[in-house]
Amino acid sequence: MAGNGLDGSELYRTLDPEGMIKKINEFPLMCRQAWAAALDFPLPSSYSAVDNVLVLGMGGSAIGGDLLSGLVASESRVPVMVCRGYILPAFVDKRTLVIASSYSGMTEETLAAFESSIKKGAKSLVITTGGKLQARANEEKIPAFVFSYPAQPRAALPFSFLPLLCFIQKLGFVKDKSPDVRETFSIIDQLYGQLNESVPVSDNLAKQIAQEMHGRLPVIYGAEILAEVARRWKTQFNENSKAWAFYEVFTELNHNAIEGYQFPPELARQVEVALLQAPSLSSRVQLRYPVICELLKEAGVSYRLVDAWGNSQLSQIMSLVLLGDYVSLYLAMLNGTDPTPVHRIDYLKSKLARQPMSYQLEE
């Protein structure tokens, strides 16, 4: 498809009939709604007396926990971790706050781990739109943050991330984030104006990156607070663009991945690396970026440095999340595919549904 095809409104009407672009355009509004609702949500005061926080989730519902964990790792007085899967970590006890996050409320891995946390007597909280998760929370009289936003789970990221941040702020685990939130709202408003589908390729960074990645294998590099943003880019390329994609994390990639640039040599021409960077990254990490670019160039691998916006770490995270969402949408258009349906995921779930589980796994 010709590059300027991304500037035609007919393309979006044809390939995006369910309006994924509309969901991405609503990202700034969603952030405001999610933050306001979380501020109004009451939490038991006893929830501040915990030794750790564990977020349960999968896919688009888990990434909020990942972003939170990276954001507050150097500040939170209790560790914040994420559990993806059926099996609850052994450390969970009455001094753990378990937050089960499932957009649909029907994610079987999350439900199974949640049941185990109830049996262990953990302090519990639920984030969902409904389903079995809400029903179990109601039965057990567990606080449930229930929101309504019709979309694919990955498109509702503000509701899986910002309430988590708000809750640990309210519980006193981190300082007041209000100034950072205000800056973030301002930044993402500006980015909407620069990245939405009406902005032409010549002025639209997201469209330009999508063009560079079209027909190539996207590999995303991130560091520290941007490590999980790199994961978000990767999963958005998978689900929205229906494309292979991978991500790597500094500084670990410096100890292994860089030795893999050599073979197979023909792959070098098929890879496009995006290196996500931000001013808040530690100085020793920042020193590595130009060296990696030098090595990529030497190996014949195309790459682009992608800068975050804003002064706060929250703004830097959310600005790159929004940029990546737009890139994945425009790459879907270039791939000639509808970004919304996830037929293979649905197929897998339908197969699993033939052997339903009780959500009571053996210990």
Active-site residue, selected from the candidate residues 239, 242, 248, 272: 239
Active-site residue, selected from the candidate residues 255, 266, 343, 363: 255
Q: For this structure, is 239 an active site residue?
A: yes
Q: What letter does residue 43 receive in the DSSP assignment?
A: -
Interatomic CA distance for residues 204 and 295, integer angstroms: 28
Q: Which of 88, 97, 106 is nearest to 54 (CA)?
A: 97
User: Is the distance from CB of 123 to CB of 43 less than 8 angstroms?
Assistant: no
User: Is the distance from CB of 92 to CB of 66 less than 8 angstroms?
Assistant: no
Active-site residue, selected from the candidate residues 22, 119, 297, 349: 349
User: Is the distance from CB of 125 to CB of 47 less than 8 angstroms?
Assistant: yes
User: Is the distance from CB of 107 to CB of 58 less than 8 angstroms?
Assistant: yes
Interatomic CA distance for residues 72 and 77, integer angstroms: 9
Task: Enumerate residues 6+ apart whose C-beta is below 8 A from 356.
Answer: none
Q: For this structure, is 349 an active site residue?
A: yes
Interatomic CA distance for residues 308 and 310, integer angstroms: 7
Enter the tokens of residue 230: 């790199």
Q: For this structure, is 170 an active site residue?
A: no
Backbone angles phi, psi at 174, to 5 degrees: -135, 165
* DSSP E strand stretches across the chain: 52-56, 80-83, 96-102, 123-128, 144-146, 217-223, 246-250, 271-277, 302-307
Q: Which of 201, 162, 190, 149 is nearest to 63 (CA)?
A: 162
Task: Give the count of alpha carbons within 13 A of 8, CB side only.
Answer: 12
Q: Which of 223, 221, 213, 271 is nearest to 248 (CA)?
A: 221
CA distances for 22 relative to 16, 18, 19, 97, 345, angstroms: 9, 9, 5, 35, 22
Interatomic CA distance for residues 108 and 56, integer angstroms: 11
Q: Which residues are catalytic?
A: 239, 255, 349
